Amino acid sequence: MKKLLANPLVLLGFIIITSILILALIAPFIAPYDPDAIDVKAILLSPSTHHLMGTDGLGRDVFSRMLYGSRISLMVGFVAVGISTAIGIVLGAIAGFYRGWVDTLIMRIVDVMLSIPTFFLILAVIAFLTPSIWNIMIVIGLTSWMGVTRLVRAEFLSLRNREFVLAAQTLGAKDTRLIFTHLLPNSLTPIIVSSILGIASAVLVESGLSFLGLGVQAPQASWGNILTDGKEYIQFAWWLSLFPGLAILITVLGYNLLGDGLRDAYNPRSSQH
């Protein structure tokens, strides 16, 4: 905690993430307009006291859509990372604990998956599915578990021959007890750091898919499809591109700052500097 509190960038990341989470949770109570309400009398109005972030080509309030879009982006981040982390922990634990041919098989699968560009793999899978928020979360989760797998495997290989593990094994502890009671709890710190950084990546992927029209579908609001609306009016409606772009930038920056800070704080070598 001393290292975290002493790092102003980590505090900034924590404040950013907390603020966005709070705004997403209270969006229905603070949004001044219905995010899907069309108003032909308010088409492409610039930011003002009535519409803080202006309106889009259908007269919808951009500020309200941004608030609801934060809920979509963060939900995709948390659920997709939850799926990928769960898969990565299971496969990494099996590979690192049992080693041998099991380890070789799992790591070759990881190598094959890593050789395929993740975003293009997601595009290929999404093309065969109906675009929806749940399909996006599942596909992102199923195509981004490789890093966690390698991380957990490395931690298990490092801890496998430690004295406390050998002592538990000598006392007759079963494999499941060794994995879930002794090895996994001691591997949680890097997993948490990886998950925080993974949320930032998932938010970017969802925004990219929605921008391309393969993600969240209208009229449901997400930062990516607000950007898509903005590209049609970019010459005279700058706010449609500026505000969602800044939201994505600030959110990803917040998670990266917090993740890097946690990694430095829990790295034993960082105490030497």
In a domain, 221, yes or no: yes
* Two tokens, residue 248: 């994505």
User: Does the residue 13 lie in any domain?
Assistant: no
Instruction: Give the model confidence (pLDDT) of 140-157 as tens digits.
Output: 899 889 999 999 999 888
Predicted confidence (pLDDT) per residue in 51-61, tens digit: 889 888 888 99
Integer Cα distance of 55 and 85 in angstroms = 38
Residue 131 lies inside a defined structural domain of this protein: yes
Residues pairing with 61 in the sheet = 55
- The answer to whether position 272 is within a domain reads no
pTM of the model: 0.85
Name the percent of the chain lying above pLDDT 70: 96
Comparing CA positions, the residue from 265, 269, 215 lying closest to residue 244 is 215
Q: Got the DSSP string for 145-197?
A: -HHHHHHHHHHHHHHTTSHHHHHHHHTT--HHHIIIIIISGGGHHHHHHHHHH
Residue 271 has pLDDT above 50, yes or no: no
Assign residue 143 the CATH number of its domain.
1.10.3720.10
From 97-101, 197-201, 264-268, the region with the lowest mean pLDDT: 264-268
Question: What whole-number distance in Å separates Cα of residue 147 and Cα of residue 141?
Answer: 12
Does a structural domain hold residue 108?
yes
pLDDT tens sequence across 84-137: 999 999 999 999 888 889 999 999 999 998 888 878 888 888 778 777 788 888
User: 3-class SS at 7?
Assistant: coil
Q: Would you say residue 16 has pLDDT above 80? A: yes
d(CA 9, CA 263): 13
Number of independent structural domains in the chain: 1
Distance separating alpha carbons of residues 192 and 153, to the nearest angstrom: 15
Distance CA 269, CA 265 (A): 9
* pLDDT > 70? residue 268: no
Greatest mean pLDDT range, 161-165, 167-171, 237-241: 237-241
Q: CB 55: neighbour CB atoms within 10 A?
A: 28
Per-residue pLDDT reduced to its tens digit, 26-39: 999 999 998 888 88
Q: Which residues constitute the domain of residue 245?
A: 61-267
